[in-house]
Chain A
Amino acid sequence: MSPEQIRQALLNILTRIVPDEDLSQLKDDLPFREQMELDSMDFLDIVMELRKQYRVQIPEEDYPHLATMGGAVTYLTPRMKDIQA
């Protein structure tokens, strides 16, 4: 998957987890939590959706990489590059 496809995959997951949020204005360099209401269970669900849908395992110590959309895409790109979109 390309970075753009990974970004879209994350957006799809977010749409399911926080269906009431308007994601069209999401800024890649600002923390998710500053742009929407996201609690720790939401966050865990994002990690688990990634594991379920794309079989990417993200160890707990790497969670800080997922704080922003930009950071998440950078972090996931090498880990998801071999996945067929």
Chain B
Amino acid sequence: MYDTIIIGAGLSGLAAGIRLAHYGQKVCILERHYTIGGLNSFYRMHGRDFDVGLHAVTNFTPKGTRRGPLATVLKRLQIEWDEFQLAPQVGSSVAFPGVKLRFTNDFKLLESEVARAFPTQIDGFRQLVAQLADYDQIDQAGYEGSAREVVSRFISDPLLVEMLFCPLMWYGNAREHDMDYGQFCIMFRSVFMEGFSRPFDGIRLILKILVKKFKASGGELRLRSGVQRIETDASRVQRIVLDNGDVVEGKNVLSSAGSFETLRMVNPPVSQTTVGEPGRLSFIETLSVLDRQPRDLGHDETIVFFNDHDKFEWCRPEDDLCDLRTGVICSPNNYAYRNNDGTPRDLEEGVMRITLLANHPRWVALSDEEYKDEKERWYQATLESATRFTPDFRPHVVATDMFTPRTIERFTWHTNGTVYGAPKKRLDGRTPYENLYLCGTDQGYVGIIGSMISGISLATHLLRP
């Protein structure tokens, strides 16, 4: 009998596991995949290392900073700041037709960019920022309100509204069209006010630190151990049944599989209204390895969030497999990496990653043959769209990879291939069962740092005497 069974060895499950095991609980993480990481894993292909989902570790704050999500993660997991080897970004931008807002990890740049491009809006922008600072990330009062409504109270130019929403929705919004006000505040701080960073070795460095800590604290990790069913009585989980029929018992169950995905496993089944709606937003991602550093082609930006018309439309593309109008272009090379002696260091090869919104049902309806062809076609189309906002790097591509909503669902079991989960979040992690909790994406915290915060806060709840 375990004290806590955790479903999923992604960032939230691992972070929760470390804390529970460190403070003496008997903990087991059950993971269906043969490896850890979930939505932010890593793999090796044709002799090259790739990250699944790492563009940027958001919430970057420099060493010695005591407040904020990164500091909380490090402190609660007893990890030193240096261990994550976070290199800050070089500089990013939001690019719309004819106007560009640049930002770095120094918020003053964004402020001056807004003042330059939208001189009539800067006072409203400053007032908005002041208001965001008051949002309480712990008590989360007012989380579900409309962020668009709040922002338009301060900013009257619709173009600036769209430009501010674009990166924040891209990096963490499960809802279509609008965004929960609380999520907007969290994302605004994590993207614009804190900032972007990346370890030289990518996400594998962070995952390896986490899994090592988890095991050193006495935690047990079982890979290839998918949960098939969660057997309950009227109010409590009784046991977990694995894909291979094995039964596992625990006093508490903490699931990072998603709220819809978790409640759907409950047996006897719960009503449709309890299960709720799964998210609808999924992505494709293309990876292009280049024969040189992107900056040698004149591209020195870390992330470019682009949108090719004035209105930013954040929703599932209904009429086609993907939406070419908006996307994210990430160059993992464009971080200020350093050697131990302080000299600059470059990733071995140039890489450009591009993300687009995609329609999951359309991608899964394709035959295997069509799927191969469509991948090829959309790879080309993605680069054509993105190179409107960057130098044309296509002649320098030496290797490629790509994943689709189908890939995401296949390796993470998130329904509809969602990355940010269901639109309705369960902020307290509670479910109708008193010993079944949710952490990760559907508790309302997304991203690398966010999902760890979620695991930490749920573990803390489970540790209270």
> Which chain A residues have a beta carbon within 8 Å of chain B's beta carbons?
16-18, 20, 37, 41-42, 44-45, 48, 51-52, 57, 59-60
Contact = CB atoms under 8 A, between A and B. Distances in A.
B342 interface: no
B76 A20 contact: no
Given A51-B24, A52-B23, A52-B24, A45 B76 contact: yes
A18 B75 CA distance: 8
A80 to B, nearest CB: 17
A20 B66 contact: yes
A13 to B, nearest CB: 11
Given A37-B66, A48-B24, A59-B465, 19 more contacts: A16-B78, A17-B75, A18-B75, A20-B64, A20-B66, A41-B72, A41-B76, A41-B460, A42-B75, A44-B460, A44-B464, A45-B76, A48-B463, A51-B24, A52-B22, A52-B23, A52-B24, A57-B465, A60-B465
Chain B interface secondary structure, helix, strand, loop or mixed? loop
> Shortest 8 CB-CB distances between A and B: which pairs?
A48-B23, A52-B24, A37-B66, A52-B23, A60-B465, A41-B460, A20-B66, A48-B463
19 contacts: A18-B75, A20-B64, A20-B66, A37-B66, A37-B67, A41-B72, A41-B76, A41-B460, A42-B75, A44-B460, A44-B464, A48-B24, A48-B463, A52-B23, A52-B24, A57-B465, A59-B465, A60-B464, A60-B465
A57 B23 CA distance: 13
Contacts of B23: 48, 51-52
A81 B207 CA distance: 41
Interface in B427-465: 460, 463-465
B3 to A, nearest CB: 14
Contact of B463 (A20, A37, A44): A44
Contacts of A44: 460, 463-464
Contacts of A52: 22-24
Contacts of A42: 75
Contacts of A51: 23-24
A54 to B, nearest CB: 12
A48 to B, nearest CB: 5
Nearest to B63: A20
A8 to B, nearest CB: 20
Nearest to A36: B66
B63 to A, nearest CB: 10
Contacts of A37: 66-67
A5 B64 CA distance: 29
Contacts of B76: 41, 45
Nearest to A37: B66
Contacts of B64: 20
Interface in B190-220: none
Interface in B161-207: none
Most buried by A among B64, B72, B75: B75
Contacts of B72: 41
A17 to B, nearest CB: 7
Nearest to B24: A52
Contacts of B463: 44, 48
Contacts of A16: 78
A18 B64 CA distance: 11
B449 to A, nearest CB: 16
Contacts of A48: 23-24, 463
Interface in B51-86: 64, 66-67, 72, 75-76, 78
A11 B22 CA distance: 19
A44 B464 CA distance: 8
Nearest to A44: B460
A10 to B, nearest CB: 17
A52 B22 CA distance: 8
Nearest to B74: A19
Nearest to A42: B75
A55 B104 CA distance: 47
Contacts of B24: 48, 51-52
Nearest to B23: A48
Contacts of A41: 72, 76, 460
A51 B465 CA distance: 11
B26 to A, nearest CB: 14
B452 to A, nearest CB: 14
A37 B72 CA distance: 12
B152 to A, nearest CB: 34
Interface string B363-382: 00000000000000000000
Nearest to A16: B78
B462 to A, nearest CB: 12
Nearest to B67: A37
Nearest to B457: A41
Contacts of A45: 76
Nearest to A58: B465
A70 B75 CA distance: 25
A16 B23 CA distance: 14
Nearest to A60: B465
